[in-house]
Structure 1
Amino acid sequence: MILPTIDVPSLPTKRLPEAERQDVLFLSRKFNDMVKYTKNFYADVGLFEECLFAARKATRENRDLLSRYPFVAARDGAMTIYHFAKALDNANGAAFRVPTIARLVDKNLLKDARKLLEDTFPLHVALRHAVAHAAELASNPEKEKDRALSGPYEGLGIKIEHEQATATIEEGLSNRTFFTTHQGQILSYDITKSSADALVEATRTFMSAFSRVSAHLRE
């Protein structure tokens, strides 16, 4: 995999009122954060693929170790998606605190970027919580019960036939889908190049919303 190129809008502050400049500088930093997390997720996907390859070559002596490697990349991916979403939200909030930007920014493109994120990773907030707090969510029998998935259910290599039966899965992989159980449901995301490409598209769409802003500030 090759890291994507993402153009970041230039937002010079010299033409802005003093009261708007700090938020614009903050916005520029959030642009850079979005690019950073997008590339980090690309790295997560690349690492995941390398780990899968290594796991397939495992011997009896190192199989237990190498089989854990893909989960490291998948867990980090779940955290990275959440951090990307927060950076996007922070950038969006900053844009609308600046009257000059709020007047010129393409609001439809901002919505399109958010929709791309939500369509690709609809469960990213809950998934991040489940991954980040895995031990806390299983700290006593009641919490374990709350986390469990109830039957009947079939999918992702899981089959629960009876309503009374349950399954608690801290982390699992089905091909390139990472999943966990949380509050009685399956949370999952695909750690694939197509998912990484969708994140790139969301970032580029978000950045393109500021083309008129950038042109205005550079006049």
Structure 2
Amino acid sequence: MLNKRSKADSVKKRHLITHSSADSIISDQFRTIRTNIKFLSEEKRKRTFLVTSPGIGEGKSTTTANLAVSVAQQKDKVLLVDTNLREPIIHRIFKISNEVGLTDILTEKATFDEAIHKTGIGKLDILTSGSAVSSPAEVLGNEIMAKLLNGVKTAYDMVLIDSPTILKSTETRLLANQCDGVILVVNRGKTILEKAVEARKILKLSRSDLVGVIINEKG
């Protein structure tokens, strides 16, 4: 039992640097990003932000998780939603159950209150991806998802949505159009310039508002 707990703690520490090492340089960089996003939230009334990347392995989910923690440390009420229904990872980063989550709400098998996770990190709540579904794009594109996004806007100071890669996932394009802004995460060593440009074009075609780009040094 002790070994399992130690392993879990090490995983959480490695991924959630803003929680485990609040005084680190990386945490300070996330505070800068947090400040910029909060400026957009307050000045332009933007509250829901979708975080995506051109490809896989660019550190998108880890970035989203750390950003959510950083915002919550300012005593803001934050909701982190995992919409990567094919390969969810947010529940692993925070070491929480994924038995009930977003898909269960969208298929009317559970209520929002039944699916939400209280992290104990400030006022950070998490909505994991939930039960596996055969058609992620159809589930995320239904009216219940649109109503859910509209509802959480009034309940939270900021909503961060971790989504699949923009270049391969139809559902990401659908969600991007429904959010107030999109944040693109690219990896300095992995992202090919052409893919980053293509991702920007797709966001423009989907009439999404690209509000910023986060450059990751590591995956």
TM-score range, shorter chain: under 0.3
Q: Give the structure with the larger helix fraction.
A: 1
TM-score w.r.t. length of structure 2:
0.26
Computing the radius of gyration from Cα coordinates, the structure with the larger value is: 1
Kindly indicate which of the two structures has a greater share of residues assigned to strand: 2
Please give the TM-score of this superposition, normalised by the length of structure 1. 0.26
